[in-house]
Chains A and B, each alone.
Chain A
């Protein structure tokens, strides 16, 4: 039966988008397994469909799993896939319930109509329902995992591994009229504890505070999409303002957003030109702590610089010492025993080595110092649609030093650049730290950039309607009259439901008699056979339900008259009345 075949294939088609999304789920998240279970249940139930009820169950399972997926995956691709899955699941259900009544396209159209009918209510909920944090952002499992990217466990000396990773770290889109910074340093983590070998990051306390209430409406927006990473800290330019309560700038100048997760994080910041608080915060004791005695040569070198009066002069002296030494840049320097060995024997390494060594040296020379890891440079992508955006990749990972200079605050120093100028393979340094020109971009890369462009646009328009934006919007709409908010929400809810009802009933009337008769027959358990005409179907139904035989035959007669006979408007109305009478009598006698 061609129509039924179509109908069941519609339900099958809903599964690939669901499975695709399931594969993208975080395996350690608590919601992943229920989602998988639901999708697999739907799959097996579809394989073993015996009763009409089974089909309804399949559709229910598919819709439930789409809901679970929507809670976990919110990117553009995921949203599109969820929409497709819902569309097909609904169409499959309709195809079952109204088998034979509509064509394949008809079912899809009807399904789309149902979704369109639900849209107004969804919009009202989206605009008015408060974002309760536990509902709005699902906590998605353990933070630490095998995600690539900077993490609190990764010390700057391991950045070389990261630079070999071919993956995107973050993307930022600036508001209209902003130029993208070309050679910026994007801070992520501050490493201020030095144990003689490694610079370690100290996780900030969980409690919030410091950044004050979100300031909305000043400056221009930066839209960020950060790929899943193992740290709560995300890249930022060090001066932007937060826009929502779940963003928080630590005293060290790390920006924390939400929780670390495998979920992609999207957020909005406000650009400013002002000097950030963290830059003026005097160093704490841990940032002054002198390196341990296990580095005698480093300490001896540092002692030469101590007599210099200011931090700036000491820095210049250290820079000239660095430039005077034959330092070589290499991403594979081999095993480096400790900083003494790096500074005086091996003299070969990458940004992590240079930053660690400089920070230790400056501390030994009594200048407060710390290592900062993050990203540097990035790549400007101009998608075909929309504004250009900056893409930070894992291979843009970089480490540098921040020094507390009296009167100037915390200042960034990048010792890796000193190695560049000492006649070392410049290309290698540029490959790690500089921005690079992309030539011969592979087509999939190009496509990915286009897609990310759309994704960022989606993020900036849709996902970023967070609590702060919602409050701002409501403030703008109601001003001081916020007490009307609840009433407005309820009224809009009713209006939306009415709108949905209208949308739902828009297309039905013209094809009513046949479609509604078929629906009635389906309820009686009579499904059309291939090529069966309506009167024949009714006769067959009459044989199956002898108690309703007369009514069924009368319904066939009226429907055929309505469809094929030359009727005057009066006659048509008369037959329509007759048909409705028969339909309601048939429907009543269940």
Chain B
């Protein structure tokens, strides 16, 4: 059972990020579904910790880029450098060529750099001077962004938000978790993590995409998408694909071989919200995704 292999990993990451089991689960399903993750929160909430822990438990190569306003596309994709010895250009891969990339504070970079990253995320390859270079697999981007009310940020456009499978917000830990944090402390770089190799991850990703999905459930997703389109621009077909993939991953984490409505409902807020609020995180009481879930009958 997939959950059996994954449970220790979930446990380990949850021990690092105290009191955030739900978010950790969502991050796992994002990884299993092969999507990219956007974490949005204030500084110091544990965004980088989560990214690093995820990379560690799957024993993936991990690189981190702190985005600044003067970061250029070549700084992340890499560039062709002239090799005088061979009198030819040689491609020098940038930090993008890794398995888990933590793009810290992505909204501080210029739109040009953001778009270079997002292109790589969508295509799984990087083109430099007309030559395309495949990125390693699995390739997983965890982008973090500060809340938009902070000075000196350029928000991600809607089209690029759509490329992220999920957007998470970690939020403050509860009192008990914070107490544990203060008393015990943690070290994300410690070697005490249980590990699962990248091959195992790829196998899991494959299993994930073959989770059984009944007609009733497809109908439910279609209903959700249809209702969302009645109001605003609505959810794109990429969003509905993402919703299904995320729900499949969630069901795998739950140890089932089929997807149920609850799986979809669990991932809807993370998958749908950033596509409906056009990058302005809902601070009001009822987010779009909640209204969407309430509008579609779920008894199936």
Could you tell me which A residues sit within 8 Å of B by CB distance? 2-3, 100-101, 103, 514, 518, 528, 530-537, 560, 563-566
Contact = CB atoms under 8 A, between A and B. Distances in A.
A531 B216 contact: no
Given A533-B299, A566-B214, 19 more contacts: A2-B297, A3-B297, A101-B299, A514-B300, A530-B294, A531-B295, A532-B298, A533-B261, A533-B265, A533-B298, A534-B298, A534-B299, A535-B261, A563-B260, A563-B300, A564-B259, A565-B212, A565-B256, A565-B257
Given A101-B299, A560-B260, A564-B259, A531 B212 contact: no
Contacts of A100: 297, 299
A2 B297 CA distance: 9
Contacts of B261: 533-535, 560, 564
Contact of B297 (A531, A563, A566): A531
Nearest to B292: A531
A182 B188 CA distance: 104
A530 B212 CA distance: 26
Contact of B298 (A518, A531, A565): A531
B258 interface: yes
A531 B298 CA distance: 5
A566 B257 CA distance: 8
A444 B258 CA distance: 61
22 contacts: A2-B295, A3-B297, A100-B297, A100-B299, A528-B299, A531-B293, A532-B298, A533-B265, A533-B299, A534-B299, A535-B260, A536-B262, A560-B260, A563-B214, A563-B300, A564-B213, A564-B216, A564-B261, A565-B212, A565-B257, A565-B258, A566-B258
Contacts of B76: none
B119 to A, nearest CB: 37
Contacts of B299: 100-101, 514, 518, 528, 532-534, 537
B215 to A, nearest CB: 9
A533 B257 contact: no
A100 B294 CA distance: 12
Contacts of A530: 294-295
Which of B216, B260, B262, B299 has the most chain A CB atoms closer than 10 A to its own CB?
A: B299
Contacts of A528: 299
Tell me which of A100, A103, A532, A564 has the highest count of chain B C-beta atoms within 10 A of its own C-beta.
Answer: A564
Contacts of B258: 564-566
B217 interface: yes
Contact of B262 (A3, A101, A533): A533
Sorted nearest first, the 10 A-B pairs with minimum C-beta distance are: A531-B294, A566-B212, A533-B261, A533-B298, A564-B214, A530-B294, A565-B258, A531-B293, A564-B260, A560-B260
Contacts of B300: 514, 533-534, 563
B273 to A, nearest CB: 15
Contacts of A534: 261, 298-300
B45 interface: no
A93 B43 CA distance: 56
B79 interface: no
Nearest to B261: A533
A564 B215 CA distance: 8
Interface string B201-214: 00000000000111
Interface in B7-42: none
Contacts of B293: 531
B296 interface: yes
Nearest to A514: B299
A535 B262 contact: yes
Interface string B268-300: 000000000000000000000000011111111
Contacts of B294: 530-531
Contacts of B298: 531-534
Interface string B180-206: 000000000000000000000000000
Contacts of B260: 533, 535, 560, 563-564
A431 B277 CA distance: 75
A3 to B, nearest CB: 7
Contacts of B212: 564-566
Nearest to A515: B299
A514 B212 CA distance: 20
B295 A563 contact: no
A569 to B, nearest CB: 16
A238 B293 CA distance: 74
A534 B300 CA distance: 7
Nearest to B298: A533
Interface in B63-110: none
B101 to A, nearest CB: 35
Contacts of B256: 565
A563 B257 contact: no
A540 B40 CA distance: 32
B296 A531 contact: yes
B136 to A, nearest CB: 34
Contacts of B265: 533
A408 B279 CA distance: 102
A188 B140 CA distance: 96
